[in-house]
Amino acid sequence: MKNLIPKIIAFFLLSASLTACSGNSYFEDENVEELNPENASEEEPENSAGKEESAADENRIYVYVTGAVNKPGVYEVHPDARAFEVLELAGGLSEDADTESVNLAKEVMDEDVLHIYRIGEIQTETDGNDTYMNERVGSVDDGKININTASKEQLLTLPGIGEQKAEAIIEYRNKNGKFKTPEDIKNIPGIKEGVFNKIQDSIKAGD
């Protein structure tokens, strides 16, 4: 009987040791399973945020505002913005602004230059050229820009017409003569159906 007692004690100690090891293994596996979902969830917000920023960039355009405004500069707006909305961002028109020099309701495009004349600015630049001034008044009265006589600054007020296109229009008519119809402006590189559709109601091809 005395020889059995040490064997019984050894058996219980061995059983207790095996039970403890099995418990530790269970908790370790459980911790691993809990960490994996957290690691996976941390990556998703970063990817979705990147997609949102990319989409936001595609839905913005930039317009350069110059002339008689309180805060000239480049402004970021939505693609369907109108001239008056851009001018609000630029602090509004200054007191000496010629309000008839721009169509406040026109739709602006990316890379547009929106120039606001000051009162008397055109007269000073043309040295009192009455013929030119009469043509300008006529274009304001009927709401259209004469592409055969318009200055670079006037052409820049048209939607989708930047400096390069305005200079190309002037160069074209100097080399080839006056435009016979407004549609002839599509002969200018870079002015296709999309741009023409935006400006056709704002231009004419007069003498």
Q: What average pLDDT does the structure give for the chain?
A: 74
In a shared domain, residues 136 and 155: yes
Sign of CA dihedral 201, 134, 95, 162: positive
CB count within 10 Å of CB 21 equals 9
Q: Which domain holds residue 10?
A: 1-58
Evaluate if residue 84 carries a pLDDT over 90: yes
In a shared domain, residues 125 and 206: yes
> Tens digit of pLDDT for each residue in 116-160?
888 776 543 433 333 333 334 334 446 789 999 888 888 998 988
In a shared domain, residues 67 and 104: yes
What is the model's pLDDT at position 123?
A: 41
Question: 87 pLDDT band (50/70/90 cuts)?
Answer: very high
Helices marked H in the chain = 4-58, 83-89, 121-125, 130-141, 152-155, 163-176, 193-199
What is the model's pLDDT at position 41?
A: 47
Lowest mean pLDDT among 55-59, 67-71, 100-104: 55-59
Evaluate if residue 74 carries a pLDDT over 60: yes
CATH number at residue 196: 1.10.150.310
Number of independent structural domains in the chain: 3
Dist CA 183 CA 200 (whole Å): 8
**Residue 12 carries which side chain, given as an amino acid letter?**
F
What is the model's pLDDT at position 169?
A: 94
Residue with tokens 């908790």: 27
In a shared domain, residues 113 and 141: no
In a shared domain, residues 83 and 13: no
What is the model's pLDDT at position 117?
A: 87
Pairing state between β 113-116 and 61-67: parallel
In a shared domain, residues 131 and 180: yes
In a shared domain, residues 53 and 67: no
Q: Average pLDDT, stretch 97-108?
A: 83
> Tens digit of pLDDT for each residue in 5-40?
666 666 666 665 555 555 555 444 544 444 444 554
Higher pLDDT, 44 or 169: 169
